[in-house]
Every structure is written in C-alpha cells, then in structure tokens.
A and B are shown apart, each in its own frame.
Chain A
Amino acid sequence: MGEAESASPIALSGFGGSSSLRRMALEISDIYKHFGPVRANDGITFTVEEGSLHGVLGENGAGKSTLMKILSGFYEADSGEAILDGETLTLRSPADAIAAGIGMLHQDPLVFLPFTVLDNFALGSPGPIPLDRSTARDELARMSEQLGFHFDPSKLARDLTIGERQQLEITRLIWLGAKVLIFDEPTTGISATQRIQLFTTLNRLAETGLIVLFVSHKLEEVEELCDSVTVIRQGKVVFEAEMPVPSELLVEKMFGKVFHEEDRQPAPLGGPVLELEGIVLEEGTTRLDDLHLQTAAGEVVGLAGLEGSGQRTLLRACAGLLDPSSGRLLVDGNDLTKTSYRGHLAAGVHYLPAGRLEEGLVEGISISEHLVLSADDSSFFVDWKAADEAARQEIDKYSIKGTPTSPAEALSGGNQQRLLLAMIPDEVRLLLLEHPTRGLDVESAAYVWQRLLERRSDGTSIIFASADLDELLRYSDRIVVFFAGAVFALRDTSETDGEELGYLIGGKERV
C-alpha cells in the first residue's frame, strides 16, 4: 500500500494499516437476515477496498440499515460472513465489531449528552476500570489535531452541534482502531457548512487508507462524494459501479421500474375539505414552512418522500396532534387550528398511523372490544352478546380472519389493518393514513384500497403517506413530495411518472 499512507497528513499506527502488501478489503459475503417473513437481507455480497469512499444507496426498507447493523454487531446475520483484510469476523456485539475494526456512526451520534467531551472520548476504551483522564486528554489532543478537529475537552457534549458530535465519534472510533467507518445517513440534521466539513473529513479518512461506507438515500450526496456505489433493493444488491454513473440509472436501480398505471380511476371532485393556509409546522429537525394545500371532497393526495422527511409531521398536524406555530387549518370551512385531537375527531378527521399495534390497536383486547371502544355509544354497561354479534358482522364485511374474541396481536398485519378500517366511523370527512398497506400482501393491499376508495363517493378526502411509488401513482390525484423536512414539489399524478418521482424523492429536479 504505502502510497496512500505516506501521502496522508495523518500517519498513525493501526490506521488502516495492513501488514501485507495486498490491499486491505472488506468483503461482505452472502449475508442473509430475516425478520419473520421479511427478508431484510437476501444474500448480499460486495467488496470494498481500502482507501475508497463507498456509497450504499437504497430507498427506505431496502435493507441497507439492517446490513450496517449486522456489520456493526447490533444484529447477528442468519448466515453469511464479513471478511476484513482476509480475516473472517465474529460480530456478535458492537464490542466485537469495534474490536474487529468496524466503527459505526449512527444517524443520531451516540454521545452521552451530560458527559464532557473528554469523558465521551474515554468511554468505551478498553483497559483497566480506573479512568486515566490525563492519558485520555493527551490522546484526544493528538487525535483531534491529526484529524483537524478542535475540541474543548471540558465542554459538555450537549453543548456541541450535531456536526461536532459526529467529529467526536469519528475521533473516538479511530482511536479505538477502526479501519472501517460506517456513516448511516450522516447528513441528517446538520447544517450546510457542517456538511461540507463532514465531506472533507470523509475524503481525508478515505485517503488515509480507511474504508468508508456512506449509507444514504440522497442521490446528490452519493454522486458528489463517493468513488464507488452499491445499490440495494429489497434486500439484494441490484447494482455496483465505479462513480460517476448517470443519475437516471441510479434512480432506476433504487426504485425499480415503476409503471404509470392507466387504470387509475379518479373520482369526481367536490368542494374543499381540508384547507391549510400558510401553515408552519415544527417538530424535531423538521420544519414545514408556509404550507398551502387544499384538498377536495373525493380527492386522494399522496405524500411521497423518504421516511422522516416531514410527511408524518403534516399528517399529525392535520389530525390535531401537533399544533401549528402559525397559519390556519380548516376542515369543511371550520377553523380547527388550535383544536385538540378529540375536537378533530368530532369534526370528522380520522388518523391511522403506521404502527398498527403501537398506535391503533391495543394488545390483549379482542376484536369485539375494539369495535366497542370505537363505537359511538355511551351506555354504561356493555351488552357483550350484542357486541359479539356486531363484531361477527364486521368480521364478515371486512373479511377479517379471526373471531370476535381474537386479541389484536393474534391477527396478521393485513387483518389488523382490516380491523382498523372497520373501526373508522361511517361519517368521515378527512382520512389521514400513514403507510396504509405497508407489510401487506398484494391481495390485502388491494382490498384496503378498494375500501378506502369507496369512501370517496361520500365526499371523504384522503391524504396518505407511502414509500411505494406504485401505490402513490396508482391511487393519488396529486402527489406532494417531501425532502429533508420540507415540501419539495407538488405534482398532478397525471403529469408525472415514477422516474420523476424517484428524482424528486432524492431531492433532485429531473434534468
């Protein structure tokens, strides 16, 4: 190797140093990981050589996070192995991974906020139990100088910016001997200047002979930064190349071919249902600014974008779970801006979040009991015989596989979703759905949509968030694209296609 190391401004022992002349490489070989029926990693194989800045690209749920968690010891793979510098690694815990030379930077840097910079740095270092702060202080100074970072060791971690916390993590991991550094969506929540700084750092780390894996769904960043790229879709490697590669090819590989379905059947639209007038929403790092949106009776609006780009924030605000900092929110002309969640329910707004068992159904409670809970009835005693009878009818009507006494957790995902549909009251003006068909088989998904679309004729307006381009194109009249916590674009479905959406979701206009 030699060349990379001598050219490096940081010459350090164990710093990507392989003893032999052969170039160090990380070989990922045939990794499988299943979660129940979901094949998160379905035989992933690729190789990254030392000194390269390698992009791992894929949409949400493609399996890239699972793979990185396997590499960093959080999950154990069902089968397959990781080989670093010719040595097969045993990765049973994060401690194993770091001992083997693999360091992971999480989306939210794992620093302990009430600790000082120095204590964070010294934390997790191997050695005897008494903490040798003076040595750690010297090491921190030496390491940060080599890396070009500046820390005040006595500052509390909570007073650092996200970017500085990342730098602290990098310093710590390299000090612990990391030869492979994994960055999982590292640009989330950091400023533009910090992003530039981070990219400079990443380039320098790669130059010194480290293997840097840059995991992202942002096309632009991968194009700007990486020397090579692996695209993962549905748990499989679908594309590998040296950069540069044309963007449209990457989009196609990431999302697969999406066909614009001609059998879309829009319903006739009525008057306005939801009106957002210059609404401002703030939640975490998401800030939706001055948003204007109107939906009509019978209209379906799809919210596209990678998870956490602001779709959920908008849905929560429409449901009355998040107060806008300014602007007005009207449903059927009634101002609901500062109305509570229950006020929204009374106004005919119904929200179905993605977590069916977390934010919808109650474990340990039966189908009958759920239907009683959601029923508009205030009698003190419950007539369980009548309730079971009513439940049996709903079970028939929605073809739920279960009995009135089946507890929610015993139902499959599709049947849980059907139960949730049965719990929606008849009179609904605005239906807010988050990933309504996630995890469902094709038949269940089609059924769910059939039931939802029926409601359009009653003048119900539907807003749904989805990661599935096909679903968005097939059912929406209009599509709002979110990127990085803001509304990026608004398209009529008839005037766009899967390719353009792919670009927009990745934060790029079509060229």
Chain B
Amino acid sequence: MTKVRSATPTLIALAAALGAGIVLLLLMGAPPFEALWLLVEGSFGSASKISATLLAWSPLLLASAGLVVTFAAGLWNIGVEGQIVIGAVAATWIARTFPGPVWLVIVAAILAGAFGGMIWALLAGVLKTYGGVHEIFGGLGLDFVAAGLVVYLVLGPWQRTGVASTSGTDIFREEAWMPTFEAFGTDWPIIPVVLGLVSVLIVWVLLRGTRFGLRLKAVGSNPKSAFLIGIPTNRYLLGAFAIGGALAGIAGTVQVTAFHHKLVPSISGGYGFLGILVVLLASFSAVWVPPIALFFVAISVGSTQLDLRLGLDSAFGGVLQGTIVLFVMIGGAWSARRSSLSRNAPGEP
C-alpha cells in the first residue's frame, strides 16, 4: 500500500475517468455536459440539496474512517456493510424500546450502534485470527447474515402496524430523531457531520501520533516482523476490527435516526462498499477521506437528478464512481511500475 504518491497520475486518471463518463453519456444518447452539470446542481444547487449531500456524507465519513484503520492493519474489511446494518438494528432497538428525552435516546442509540457494529466486526476478526477464515470471506458471509436479519426484523417482530412491508418499520417517534438545526430555510444535519469529521480526526491522530497506531501499521505491513518485535499481533488485529466496526455501527445509527427515521432493508445505503472505494482513492490516508467522500456522495446525490430531468438511470452515478477508482488504481500501478523500473532492473523472481 503506497503511502505517498505524486498528484499528477491521479489528476490524469481523473481526467481519463471523466472522459470515459462523457463517452458513456454519449453512448446513452444524453447530452454529456448538461448531465455533468446536473450532477453538480443536484448535489450543491440549493441549501436543501447541500443539506442532503452533507447528510449522505456523514455515514460515508464514518465508514471510511473505520476502513482506514482496518486497512492500516492490512485487513480487507469487506464486512462494513453488515456492521452498518447491525449498528442500525441496535440503534433501532434503542429507538423503539426506550422512552426519554431526545438527547438521552440519541446518545444511547449512538453507543448501541457502535457496540453492535463492533461485535459484528469482531466476529469476522475472531474468525480470522483464531479460525483461519480470511476476513474477506468472513466479512462477506456476515454481510449476508446481517441483510437477512434486517429483513426478518422488518417483516417479523418489528413490522409496521397494520401490514408487514419491506418498506420498513414504523417511523420512529420524534424523540428518536437526531436533532437538526434550522438555517437558510432548511434543516442541517450538524450532529452527523460532526460525528463523521471527528471520527476522521480521531483516526488520523490514532495512526499518526500514537504507539497503538504505529504498532497497527507494523502489523499491517509485516505481521511476521511485528510479531518478532514483540507486538501481540492478534490483539492488534482485533483492535482494528473493533474500531472499524464501531465507526461503521455509528454510521448505521446515523442512517436510522437522521436519514430514514425507521429501519429499512437497504439501511446500509451501500456505504460499506463505497467507503472501500473512498479509502482506496485516498491512498489509505485519513486526511484525504473527507474531500473524496464528499465528491463521491455528491455524485450519488446528484445522480438522482439525471433520472428526473434526463430520464437516465441514476445508476450512472455508481458507474462514474467505479470508473474513477479504476482509472486512479491503474494510474497508481502505472506510476509505481515506472518508478520501480527506473530504480533497478528486476531481481530474483
């Protein structure tokens, strides 16, 4: 995992991705520049659109910050989706069960979400460290289990009054809504944004300034050496899972208490996988997570306009995100190859 790289190949890659997007739009018979402008307008065109973009930004920040930690430990934490879902389930349980003033319910929901996500991540962690199950398979399996669980809850024990529906549970009572703040004629999701940004900051400090972070990086880059240096590697791997899972769980809390105000089957919003793309694009560094995550959610939020105004499928946003990551990865691999070729001839295979 390269830590430092020059910006030039990234910029070239972004331009190439944009070019590919334009070609794709032309193939779909859409006016490319109008479509791209709609992406911008759809995400930043008005106060309420900016608010919607920020609300989507927060869970992605939380999920990505957690992924920065697990990537630092050398883990492919594919299970973030499931961790978000379990966090959302735990927060929903709090919201449905406990009466009380709004601040108490919300704090309890955040803690419950963090706990739920952490437990789910630790399951994958224990499977890896003590069960020898690669975290990709463990995480993927647990994603499916979580997805099944939420459908069961929505259609079963927590079904809507009247008739069970996959459209979700009943809307929470208002004490379980994360408070917003009104300005410029719309509601602003201040608490989720603060949660997201603070999590990024904490992760940045953790990896940069603490012994824990340094040891985690050592475990991630070379577990054998780290173990021989005397670091209890399994404990650190589990620690990384726990932190990543807790942050993902809080993202789940944000999804239910600030966005949907109910539990729905698609509660994760795909932020677990999108977070992986964000962190790859950020070269595994926390500093770059906020701007890249903002860029990504802007594409997601803005692409709903493509459907409304041009009749294009809003999936185009996802295609564009994926294309960007692919091109940047190719650019990174290409520049790494060039620099290694110029440094020395290939050695022993």
Contacts and interface: CB of A to CB of B under 8 A. Distances in A.
Interface string B212-225: 10110110011011
Contacts of B221: 362-365
B229 interface: yes
A373 B222 contact: no
Contacts of A361: 222, 225
Contacts of A364: 1, 3, 217, 221
A482 B344 CA distance: 38
B103 interface: no
B344 A36 contact: yes
A382 B228 contact: no
Contacts of B231: 373
A358 B209 contact: no
A384 B229 CA distance: 20
Interface centre among A74, A363, A381 (most CB of B within 10 A): A381
A353 to B, nearest CB: 7
Contacts of B338: none
B211 A380 contact: yes
A360 B230 contact: no
B227 interface: yes
Given A364-B1, A365-B218, A380-B211, 10 more contacts: A74-B349, A345-B230, A358-B224, A362-B217, A362-B225, A364-B217, A373-B226, A374-B230, A381-B209, A382-B209
Contacts of B224: 358-359
18 contacts: A35-B347, A36-B347, A75-B348, A345-B230, A358-B222, A359-B224, A360-B228, A361-B225, A362-B218, A362-B222, A364-B1, A364-B221, A372-B211, A373-B226, A373-B229, A374-B229, A374-B230, A382-B210
A357 B224 CA distance: 10
B31 interface: no
B204 to A, nearest CB: 13
Given A36-B344, A359-B224, A423 B229 contact: yes
Interface in B221-267: 221-222, 224-232
Contacts of A351: 228
A51 B144 CA distance: 64
A358 B227 CA distance: 11
A369 interface: yes
A373 B348 contact: no
B211 A379 contact: yes
B321 to A, nearest CB: 28
B271 to A, nearest CB: 28
A214 interface: no
A378 interface: yes
A32 interface: no
Interface residues of A, number: 30
B211 A378 contact: yes
Nearest to A425: B230
Contacts of B347: 35-36
Q: Which of B212, B215, B224 has the most CB of A within 10 A?
A: B224
Nearest to A359: B224
B244 to A, nearest CB: 19
B230 A342 contact: yes
A447 to B, nearest CB: 23
Interface of A: 35-36, 74-75, 341-342, 345, 351, 353, 357-365, 369, 372-374, 377-382, 384, 423
Contacts of B226: 362, 373
Contacts, number: 70
Contacts of A380: 210-212
A345 B232 CA distance: 12
Contacts of B212: 380
A343 to B, nearest CB: 11
B12 to A, nearest CB: 25
Summarize B's interface: helix, strand, loop or mixed: helix
Contacts of A378: 211
Q: Which 10 A-B pairs have the closest CB atoms?
A: A362-B222, A362-B218, A362-B221, A362-B225, A345-B230, A359-B224, A364-B221, A35-B348, A373-B229, A381-B210
B225 A360 contact: yes
Contact-residue size bin, chain B (C-beta under 8 Å from the other chain): 20 to 34
B237 to A, nearest CB: 15
Nearest to B224: A359
B225 A359 contact: yes
Contacts of A384: 209
A379 B323 CA distance: 44
A358 B225 contact: yes
A380 B217 CA distance: 15
B95 to A, nearest CB: 34
The winner among A363, A379, A380 for most chain B CB atoms within 10 A is: A380
A363 B222 contact: yes
Interface string B338-349: 000000100111
A382 B221 CA distance: 19
Nearest to A380: B210
B69 to A, nearest CB: 16
A75 B349 CA distance: 8
Contacts of B229: 362, 373-374, 423
Nearest to B1: A364
A363 to B, nearest CB: 6
A369 B229 CA distance: 12
Contacts of A365: 214, 217-218, 221
Given A380-B212, A382-B210, A384-B209, A342 B232 contact: yes
A58 B320 CA distance: 60
A3 B228 CA distance: 61
B212 to A, nearest CB: 7
Contacts of A359: 224-225, 228
A65 B332 CA distance: 36
A388 to B, nearest CB: 13
Contacts of B228: 341, 351, 353, 359-360
A374 B226 CA distance: 10
A152 B230 CA distance: 50
Contacts of A423: 229
Nearest to A368: B214
A372 B214 contact: yes
A94 to B, nearest CB: 12
A369 B214 contact: yes
Residue from B209, B210, B225, B348 with most neighbouring chain A CB atoms (10 Å) = B225
Contacts of A357: 222, 225
B307 to A, nearest CB: 44
B97 to A, nearest CB: 36
A364 B211 CA distance: 16
Contacts of A373: 214-215, 218, 226, 229, 231
B262 to A, nearest CB: 40
B218 A381 contact: no
Nearest to A344: B230
Contacts of A341: 227-228
Most buried by B among A357, A373, A374, A377: A373
A373 B347 CA distance: 30
A362 to B, nearest CB: 4
A354 B209 CA distance: 31
A359 B230 CA distance: 12
Contacts of A74: 349
Contacts of A345: 230
A365 B225 CA distance: 12
A359 B225 CA distance: 4
B277 to A, nearest CB: 23
Contacts of B348: 35, 75
Contacts of B1: 364
| Listed residue (A35, A362, A379) with the most chain B CB atoms within 10 angstroms of its CB | A362
A270 to B, nearest CB: 26
A299 B210 CA distance: 39
A342 B236 CA distance: 15
